[in-house]
Chains A and B, each alone.
Chain A
Amino acid sequence: MNEQGWLPRGPLGWVVPPMMIGALYMAFLFAPTEATMGDVQRIFYFHVPSAWAAFLAFAVVFVASIQWLRTKQPRWDAMAVSAAEVGIVFCSIALVTGSIWAKPIWGTWWDWDPRLTTTLILWLIYVSYLMLRTSVENPARRASLSAVVGIVGFIDVPVVFMSIRWWRTIHPVLLSASGFDMAPSMVATLMVCLVAFTLLFVHLLRLRISLELQREEVHRLRDQILYEE
């Protein structure tokens, strides 16, 4: 029982740490220094994959929410809440690293850049998702209510992105977008980091799902034992 929590589960647990080391190597030692931004640009190699993992996570919430509403099987709800939690972790990383990258490049911690702002709204939507869950006690109702919010939230994301992007392009932009040309080695580095983060995401997701399923099992047993009279 004890080792399930501490040791990585299955083959993925053994693959992820070396992949992350590999990604670290690529980002720091393999990739060339960028011309205009200098070495600070290397933050990009972990910032973008974090945002990608967050988006992937919220897509999983969307699909799991729909599946819960359709089948009412508890494993879909377990997947939804797990993906939301892991997604918020990656989303927070993306926001903070984006902010840290912005400071030396733009001179400010925050700029209402469309992508960063959409990520912030995304973060708020899924935090509200988790807050909703803590506020409902009945498990079936909690699952259904959060499924509705999970569906609405995900569909909202492209709408939010487009509206903020138009808001920024029509408004005179004070700080130019942080674009830069990517050499092939940089592209390769980014790809490796994307793969590493995707694997990390899947690994954390599976860990969290197994925790959730165990928790449900324990609650069921507890209700059975304590309230059997």
Chain B
Amino acid sequence: MRSYLDKVLAIVGKDVASELRTREVLSSMFVFAVLVIVVFNFAFELNVENNEAVAPGVLWVAIIFAGMLGLNRSFISEKDRGCMEGLLLCPVDRSAIYVGKMLGNLLFMLTMEAIVLPIFAAFFNLSVFDPKLLLVVLLGTIGFAAVGTLFAAVAVHTRTREVMLPILLLPVAVPVLVAAVKATGEAIARTPPSTPGPWLGVLVGFDVIFLTVAYLTFEYVFQE
């Protein structure tokens, strides 16, 4: 049990340390997210009236596309630098790699969101320090990272690599997108709805189900 936790933390620590040195992934995720928000402004002619209606969607598209940048890198750099063999040789349950990678991805996405959210709030003239909004962002990111880490590991073994991840991930992540956008909409609404929707429940359910499924199936991705 102890060595399991050690391995998980070692993986997270390694990813964080290598990122701190170059900061390339975080910066590209951040810039990409901001670009998406700006591009949507032109694509949908955002103005003060349709603000509330469009804002949640814009936020989550930005998060999802920026998130995929980070997810891709989490395994591709390992494979390219030959670290994958080292990780696989350790005498601990393969699922520890999943937990470690997933936590690392989650950490990177949350960091990116911490910087993007205030910018998003400024562009859309909304308050960001709402606990409900932060909770939705957290739950949605967890769900996305849970399946995303698994599928990133799958994608790295293919010929098409980075291209494979969005193709696999986006259809499966539809519930996260639907629930997160709806819940965000409710959280930022100037007049909140009388009965809140089941969205937080959907997110929690999704997170629990897919963290479990990914945890159980991860080892099969690396079988020869």
Contacts and interface: CB of A to CB of B under 8 A. Distances in A.
Direct contact of A and B (CB under 8 A): yes
A163 B172 contact: no
Interface string B125-154: 000000000000000000000010011001
A187 interface: no
Given A141-B224, A152-B210, A155-B213, A163 B154 contact: no
A170 B198 CA distance: 10
Contact of B168 (A149, A151, A170): A149
Nearest to B222: A144
Contacts of B209: 155, 159
Interface string B189-222: 0000000011100100110011001100100110
Given A121-B171, A128-B167, A145-B157, A163 B221 contact: no
B158 A132 contact: yes
B104 to A, nearest CB: 20
A145 B154 contact: yes
Contacts of B164: 131-132, 135
A135 B160 contact: yes
Contacts, number: 89
B175 interface: yes
A137 B159 contact: yes
B168 A136 contact: no
Contact count band on B: 20 to 34
Contacts of A145: 154, 157-158, 221
Contact of A166 (B170, B171, B202): B202
B174 interface: yes
B94 interface: no
27 contacts: A69-B217, A69-B220, A121-B171, A125-B172, A128-B168, A135-B159, A135-B164, A136-B159, A140-B223, A141-B223, A144-B223, A148-B150, A149-B154, A149-B168, A151-B213, A152-B210, A153-B172, A159-B175, A159-B205, A159-B206, A160-B174, A163-B178, A163-B179, A163-B202, A164-B178, A166-B198, A166-B202
Given A145-B221, A155-B213, 17 more contacts: A131-B164, A132-B158, A137-B159, A140-B223, A141-B223, A144-B221, A145-B154, A149-B151, A152-B172, A152-B213, A159-B202, A163-B175, A163-B178, A164-B178, A166-B198, A166-B199, A166-B202
Interface of B: 147, 150-151, 154, 157-160, 164, 167-168, 170-172, 174-175, 178-179, 182, 197-199, 202, 205-206, 209-210, 213-214, 217, 220-221, 223-224
Interface of A: 69, 121, 124-125, 128, 131-132, 135-137, 140-141, 144-145, 147-149, 151-153, 155-156, 159-160, 162-164, 166-167, 170
